[in-house]
Amino acid sequence: MSGVTTLTVGEKRGHTFFREAPVIAGYASIAGRKESDGPLGGQFHRIVKDETLGEKSFERAERKLLVEAVRLTLHRAEVDASEVDVMFSGDLLDQIVTANFAGRDLGIPLLGVYAACSTSTESLLLAAMAVSSGFAGYALAGTASHHLSAERQYRYPLELGVQRLPTSQWTATGAVAFLVGTAGEGRVAIRSGTVGRVHDAGIKDVNNMGAAMAPAAADTIARHLAARGQSFEDYDVVLTGDLGRVGHPLLVDLLKERGVDTDGRLADAGIMLYDQRQGVHAGGSGAACSALVAAAAILPGLESGTIRRALLVATGSLHSPRSYQQGESIPSIAHAVELEVVP
């Protein structure tokens, strides 16, 4: 399996530590109907019951979610769009049209990114890098996904009524934006981050992405802890997203094999976003899933002090419908961002 290399302990490749740590200057989440019916339903900043948002296509609805999440973030932070130097954004749709059309509507300089469902942490890490290096005073990181646009692009149009498999995950409908600013602009610091390497466990079942992504999460977490000289004990929570009920126990095992004890502190966004009674099978997924859970369950904890330090490890399956149809396996990646309460 190419790309699966053994961790050299102490290797810091792909890891960055922000001496002058940028901060979360604002954030906002918008969630769909099913997401608002889940356990975190009361924690989102806005709920959208009509999943068309009054638009004529699900693709247009998805980009409206992202535009509204950015506008709500700026409104809550009392920052004008003209004060934002750059926005890092991506999504699941071909040619990241959600981010690109949202960039058009927002008028903010845009750097498009793609890392499937790990787009949330890739964009947050890059926004932190831009602010930390002085390139940006304010930088935005934003992502969105929509169940109905994703299903028809990646799998089947819902109208076909194709039965889902027990290992399937449910693409979340929602959008989240984070505004990153300089020290003093917020109470949650972005302390460090680790860029993922692409892994390929040889899995070819697109209905079992949790298993495909678990090795990438294990590698990024192990590399991050080694580079920082940390263990799970240093974190109140390590939030992966979105391994679901199949991938999560695999990750625990893979970390154990590497001698990493999760100490009961490992949680997964794909498991947290929905109740099992909601019929999502293995859990949630989608670019918005890990971002929604971070915005609803992690950031409020950091702001109130019930969480002191958290590691966000969003995971992404890097296949395309065509690569899958051509018989390729599913490469995956995970990017980590360390958040802590400003001392």
Rounded to the nearest 10°, the torsion over CA 120, 229, 332, 208 is -90
Q: Least distance (Å) from a copy of itself to the CB of residue 199?
A: 7
Q: How far is the CB of 266 from a copy of itself (least distance, A)?
A: 22
Minimum CB distance to a copy of itself, residue 268 (Å): 22
Least distance from C-beta 188 to a copy of itself, angstroms? 20
Count other Cβ atoms within 10 Å, centred on residue 262.
16
CB 93 within 8 A of CB 107: no
What values do phi and psi take at 19, rounded to 5? -60, -50
Cα gap 148→200, rounded to integer Å = 28
Q: How far is the CB of 19 from a copy of itself (least distance, A)?
A: 9
| Distance of closest approach, residue 77 Cβ to a copy of itself, in angstroms | 17
Report helix, strand or coil for 322.
helix
Q: For residue 322, what are its two tokens?
A: 């065509």
CA distances from 24 to 105, 121, 140, 168 (A): 23, 13, 10, 33
- In the Cβ-directed half-sphere of 85, how many Cα atoms lie within 13 Å? 17
Binding region for a copy of itself (CB under 8 A): 2-3, 5, 13-14, 16, 57, 59-60, 82, 84-86, 90, 92-97, 100-101, 103-116, 122, 125-126, 129-130, 132-133, 135, 153, 195-200, 318-323, 326, 328, 331, 333, 335
Using the minimum distance from each CB to a copy of itself, give the nearer residue, 16 or 43: 16
For residue 263, the minimal CB distance to a copy of itself (Å) is 26
SS3 of residue 161 by DSSP = coil
Cis peptide before 205 (omega within 30 of 0): no
**CB closer to a copy of itself out of 96 and 311:** 96
Q: Angle at Cα 75 formed by Cα 74 and Cα 81, nearest 5°?
A: 40
What is the rounded CA–CA span in Å between residue 27 and residue 71?
A: 10
Select 14 or 41, whichever has its Cβ closest to a copy of itself.
Answer: 14
Q: Specify whether the CB–CB gap between 326 and 167 falls below 8 A.
A: no
- Estimate to the nearest angstrom the gap between the alpha carbon of 225 and the chain centroid: 19
Which residue number, 36 or 317, has a Cβ lying nearer to a copy of itself?
317
CB 11 within 8 A of CB 226: yes
Alpha carbon distance 296, 289 (integer Å) = 11
Least separation in angstroms between CB 325 and a copy of itself: 10
Q: Write the DSSP symbol of residue 304.
A: H
| Least Cβ distance, residue 331 to a copy of itself (angstroms) | 5
Q: Which of 87/237 has CB closer to a copy of itself?
A: 87
Closest to a copy of itself by CB, 163 vs 326, is 326
Q: Which is nearer to a copy of itself, 106 or 251 (CB)?
A: 106
Q: Is the peptide bond before 94 cis (omega within 30 degrees of 0)?
A: no
Judged by beta carbon, residue 45 or residue 60, the one nearer a copy of itself is 60
Residue closer to a copy of itself by CB (options 133, 306) is 133
